[in-house]
Amino acid sequence: MDIKFVKRSVVKTSKKRSSKFRPLLEALEKLKPGGQAIEVSYTNEKSINSMRTAVYQYCRQKEYTIKSRRDSESKKIYFYRD
């Protein structure tokens, strides 16, 4: 068996959630620092965690920062750039 260490960036993975959150990820590209925010409704805690994970992974690849705030009373989450 031949074992070789490679950088993590070389390993490509396919993400099922990228297609589920494709409209959100496309909207993130339009955000400008200090500009508008994106408002997204959610149904439960699991969906909000999946959404945030997808957004943060996507932005790590694009090398910019997205922040989020949650309004638990109206079940909405807001994504914005500082």
41-55 pLDDT tens trace: 998 888 899 899 989
- Report residue 3's pLDDT band, with 50, 70 and 90 as the boundaries: confident
pLDDT at 68: 94
- What's the start-to-end Cα distance of the chain, in Å? 48
The answer to whether residue 30 sits within a structural domain is no
The answer to whether residue 3 sits within a structural domain is no
Please tell me the total count of domains within the chain: 1
pLDDT of 18 above 70: no
The answer to whether residue 2 sits within a structural domain is no
pLDDT at 14: 66
Question: Residue 57 belongs to what domain range?
Answer: 35-82
The answer to whether residue 21 sits within a structural domain is no
Q: Does pTM surpass 0.85?
A: no
Which two three-digit tokens encode residue 1?
A: 């068996």
21-55 b/e (C-beta count within 10 Å ≥ 16 → b):
beeebeebeebeeeeeebebebeeeeebeebbebb
